Every structure is written in structure tokens, then in C-alpha cells.
Chains A and B, each alone.
Chain A
Amino acid sequence: EAGVTQSPTHLIKTRGQQATLRCSPISGHTSVYWYQQALGLGLQFLLWYDEGEERNRGNFPPRFSGRQFPNYSSELNVNALELEDSALYLCASSLDAGEQFFGPGTRLTVL
């Protein structure tokens, strides 16, 4: 069974630009979670989508947004990029609100 996949693997942007990150959950999983892993800050919860709806949101500004598509894949958009947005962005999926399985992440670098 294929795991969670994310694309692209690496993304380089400049300040002020927009970034779009994509995630495909494990087949049959309906929930998708986004986390930011920045150096020294650990993993911080960004967004949770389930059945196409946003279920919860972490303590991040509105320029972090996303959506979940009918096939349960998800997209994370970061507008007006700032240098401190440089991080590994991890997507996880689950069948219920418990066990979450992570993808390999997208490394975003903002120059």
C-alpha cells in the first residue's frame, strides 16, 4: 500500500511570492493534516481537513491556507512568503482522528 506522498520535494521561492504544496493521503484516508517543522521549533500544527472541510487551524496567520479535494488530496498555499516560512512542511493522513501517518515532506526555502 502506498504511503502519503508530497510534492514537490524541494521548493525555492523569494520573499513575497506564493508557494503551493501538495499532498496525497493513503488510500481510504479521509483526513489530511499539515504541520510545519522549522529548525528549533519542532512540529507545529497548521491545518486539518476532513471530508473536504477545514476542521481545525493552528496558530498561523491567514496567509497560510489550504483545501481538500473530493479525492481527499490536499493543497497548502502560503501567500506573501517571508524568510521565516522556510521549513519542512509535512502532511499526514488518517482514517480517524487518531493514528496519523506522515509523508516525506516538502522543503520550502524562502530567499
Chain B
Amino acid sequence: QQQVKQSPQSLIVQKGGISIINCAYENTAFDYFPWYQQFPGKGPALLIAIRPDVSEKKEGRFTISFNKSAKQFSLHIMDSQPGDSATYFCAASAGGSQGNLIFGKGTKLSVKP
């Protein structure tokens, strides 16, 4: 089974702080790495995604850092807000005939006011 390992399982951050979630993968054929945000009772929503030809991608307060040699990628949430409290999933896909996403187990983020 091709795996994506995500840590930590849960994270508590103070308002205004930086939230960091890490993921590691095994399959070097993966070429697409999205992050999803899921609120209770809702489906996951695409937050930001990166491909391995870049080492960093920033969208607003959300940044993905990607280390191809280490087979690791991470999500940084700057100036974390209580509204960011949700479960975050990293995922990976090999595209083409393997376009389905392999998800990490998720990180439950709580941002304290």
C-alpha cells in the first residue's frame, strides 16, 4: 500500500501563531500534493496544492514547503485564526492512470482565542 504519513495527529495553537503540519511519502511516482481542509459535517475543501518542480507555494496565509529529496512536504498556516480550526489532510497522487488521491490520516487543528 502506497502510504502518506501525516503528523501530528492533533495540534493546538494560539491565535496569531504558526501551525505546521508535516507529511512524508514513499512513492517517488507521486507528482501532485494537495492539502484539504475539512470542517465537521462537510466534505474536504481543496486548500492549496504543489507539484514537485517547485519547493514552495504560498497562497495568503497558507504555504506548502516541499522537499523532494527527503520525500516530505508540509503546510504552514501563518497568523492562525480560530476559524482555521478544522481537520487538515495531506494527499498525494501519481496522476495519469493513478489519479486517485492517497490521503494522510489527518490533523485536527484547534486555534485558541
- Interface stretch among B15-23, B58-66, B76-84, B103-111? B103-111
What residues on B are CB-neighbors of A103 within 8 Å? 43
Q: A62 in the interface, Cβ–Cβ < 8 Å? A: no
Bound together, the chains give a CA A97 to CA B94 distance in angstroms of 9
Cβ-neighbour of B100 out of A4, A58, A90, A104 (below 8 A): A58
Q: B8 in the interface, Cβ–Cβ < 8 Å? A: no
Supplied contacts A97-B99, A102-B46, 14 more A-B pairs, CB within 8 Å: A31-B99, A35-B101, A42-B104, A43-B89, A43-B103, A45-B100, A56-B99, A92-B43, A98-B93, A98-B99, A99-B46, A101-B46, A105-B42, A105-B43
Most buried by B among A35, A43, A48, A105: A43
Verify B105–A42 contact, CB threshold 8 A. yes
Verify A90–B43 contact, CB threshold 8 A. yes
Verify B49–A98 contact, CB threshold 8 A. yes
Most buried by B among A35, A55, A98: A98
Cβ-neighbour of A97 out of B44, B93, B104 (below 8 A): B93
Q: Could you name 28 residue pairs across A and B whose Cβ atoms are closer than 8 Å?
A: A33-B99, A42-B105, A42-B106, A43-B44, A43-B91, A44-B103, A45-B101, A45-B102, A48-B100, A55-B99, A56-B99, A56-B100, A59-B1, A90-B44, A92-B43, A94-B99, A97-B93, A97-B95, A98-B93, A98-B95, A98-B99, A99-B34, A100-B46, A102-B43, A102-B44, A102-B45, A104-B41, A105-B42
Q: B28 in the interface, Cβ–Cβ < 8 Å? A: no
